[in-house]
Amino acid sequence: MKSARIVKANEPLEVQELETPKPRGSQVLIKVESSGVCHSDIHLWEGGYEGLEGQFLKTTDRGVNYPLTPGHEIAGIVDSLGEEAEGFTKNEKVLVYPWIGEGRCPACRIGQENLCDKPRSLGIYRDGGYAEYVLVPSYRYILKMGDELDTDASATLSCSALTAYGAVKNANLKPNDNVVIVGAGGLGLMAIQLAKAVTGSKIIAMDLNDEKLEAAKKNGADNTINSKKEDPVKAVMELTDKMGADAVVDFVNASKTVESDIQFLRRRAKLVLVGLFGGELKLSLVSMPTRAYRLIGSYTGTLSELVELVSLARRGVIKPLVSNRFKLNQATEALTMLKEGKILGRGVINP
Ligand SMILES: [Zn+2]
Ligand SMILES: [Zn+2]
């Protein structure tokens, strides 16, 4: 089978011919029809993230090995099953849950495999979907897809939409809460649709770009703030009767956005940090207890959240926007375009 692989940081991905795996036990082999191109693939390609004081956090220090086939948003059809895999038949349309754990740590034991101590996520720690086939360790990690959604759109559910859903859940929104969604890109727009559909909260979208804010309005935001043109703290205070936000979900998560988030939080508020932009934050420690707010890091979502999300998507509650399609040998081009901000919705690779 052909796979587009990261061999060396920042160098073009290589399309390699690898042996097609044979599923054993409870494993399932999926013929990949669509694999989403995600921002975290760029970090894998660059070999790391920005940490404190400009320090570079290497992916190899976190257990990533190269060469690696990236791709964790995988949709396709069942090709073959191991002898113990059940409940699926050949050619069935499925979506893959990629956030797989080792199964024994305290997080895995309560169904939070996405937060496993020793993660084995597909496309990050194991070969993923930038390939003609992907081997899934168990039939438990594949979900049947109906015909309501096309394959490209369903692929995006397992990371971009799931991350947005997990973050909205972590904000624990109540009806009439004021929530600020920072960043109205793909994830932000998805979070707006989900918050609108399942929480009844009042949504304020914040971004630097008027076009994205216009899209936020169309997707259900009650108010928008362009933080380049107006003071974000003042604007949030005005929109919330001087109370501040009950929750903030920050899909950018850069020093600049979080510094202002902290200033418009209401007492008891939750600040959910999702984006992987990185940087650092100066924090007044005494205000943590006196204002009793919570800082919450949110990473993807659980298998049961993906099950919920699939039913929301099948009912048309969220509409993933796939804007660019690439072939396997265009993987480098796909990552470059994403890095340069030239992909408006989601880009997918169709092997
Ligand atoms: Zn675990
Ligand atoms: Zn992702």
Q: Ligand 1 centroid vs 118 CA: distance in angstroms?
A: 6
Closest by CA position to 320, among listed 183, 164, 143:
164
User: How far is CA 244 from each of CA 199, 230, 236, 264, 335, rounded to the nearest angstrom?
Assistant: 18, 16, 6, 5, 38
Q: What is the pLDDT of residue 13?
A: 98
Using alpha carbons, select from 74, 79, 216 the residue that is nearest to residue 157.
74
Q: How does pLDDT run across 107-128, given as a tens digit for each residue? A: 999 999 999 999 999 999 999 9
Altogether, the residues listed in the chain come to a count of 351
- What local confidence, expressed as pLDDT, does residue 52 receive? 78
pLDDT digits (tens, 9 = 90+) for 133-168: 999 999 999 999 988 889 999 999 999 999 999 999
Q: 137 CA distance to ligand 1 centroid (A)?
A: 14
Cα distance between residue 1 and residue 296, in whole Å = 41
Q: Is the pLDDT of residue 344 over 80?
A: no
pLDDT score, position 206: 98
pLDDT at res. 275:
87
Q: Which pLDDT value is given to residue 346?
A: 87
Phi-psi region of 270 (alpha: psi -120 to 50; beta: other; left: phi over 0): beta
Q: For residue 241, what are its two tokens?
A: 């009767």
Query: Percent of the chain at pLDDT above 90?
Result: 87
Answer whether 203's CB lies under 8 Å from 181's CB: yes
Per the model's pLDDT, the better-predicted residue between 1 and 147 turns out to be 1
Strand 56-58 relative to strand 142-144: parallel, antiparallel, unpaired? unpaired
- What does residue 126 show for φ and ψ, rounded to 5 degrees? -135, 160
CA of 108 to the centre of ligand 1 (A): 4
Ligand nearest the Cα atom of residue 276: 2
What pLDDT shows up at residue 278?
Answer: 79
Whole-model pTM? Answer: 0.93
CA 338/CA 321 separation, integer angstroms:
15
pLDDT tens digits for range 186-238? 899 999 999 999 999 999 999 999 999 999 999 999 999 999 999 999 999 99
How far is residue 42's CA from residue 284's CA, in Å, rounded to a whole number?
Answer: 33
Query: Which ligand number lies closest to the CA of residue 71?
Result: 2
Tell me which H or E stretch contains 14: strand 14-17
* Residue 105 Cα to ligand 1 middle (Å): 4
The residue assigned the tokens 């998805």 is: 190
